[in-house]
Amino acid sequence: MATLHQRGAPVVEVYGAAVAWVTPACYRGWLATRYVDGARTFWEWASAPPPAAPSATAGKTVFRDIGRAIRRLHDCGGRHPDLNANNILLAPRAGVLFLDFDRARLAAANGTPPARDLDRLWRSLRKLDPQGRWVTAADFDLLRTAYGEGPQCG
């Protein structure tokens, strides 16, 4: 996460880490990250009941912002094998940020295709919202379209 942050990826800034070995092949890890004032998870935002739910225009902006942020993460070398609606933060000042990188790695040239992260996010949304009541296929299409708009890191 620190490397991704240095590269300009939209990740929560890490202040420290700790590891406790349970067995020689198993450990428990903790990260201390920057507190992001006013942040909500993508799922908290999407499933907020009226009147806290966003307007149609604001909703479209959020889906586009998330798509662009995922693209930036990927272009900066990050892959998130557990990208889900609860690992994406929406913050008033910081924008879209990603967290919970416990199984993530920096991307290798022949590594996991970025599309798998998007597929994982869609599965997460369908699990949380099977009927598409809060997040529709059209909403996710906005996210995918924004993702495809071009390079974002640098």
Distance CA 40, CA 21 (A): 32
Distance CA 131, CA 14 (A): 36
Q: Phi first, then psi: what are they for 22, rounded to 5°?
A: -85, -45
Q: Going by DSSP bridges, is the β-strand pair 88-91/40-41 parallel, antiparallel, or unpaired?
A: antiparallel
**What is the set of domains in the chain, with CATH numbers?**
2-147 (1.10.510.10)
Q: Which residues pair with 31 in a beta bridge?
A: 17
pLDDT in tens, the chain (154 residues): 888 999 999 999 989 888 899 999 898 888 888 899 999 999 999 998 765 555 566 678 899 999 999 999 999 999 888 899 999 999 998 999 999 887 777 876 555 667 888 999 999 999 999 999 889 999 999 999 999 886 667 6
Q: Which of 139, 131, 82, 127 is nearest to 105 (CA)?
A: 82
Q: What is the pLDDT of residue 100?
A: 87
pTM: 0.86
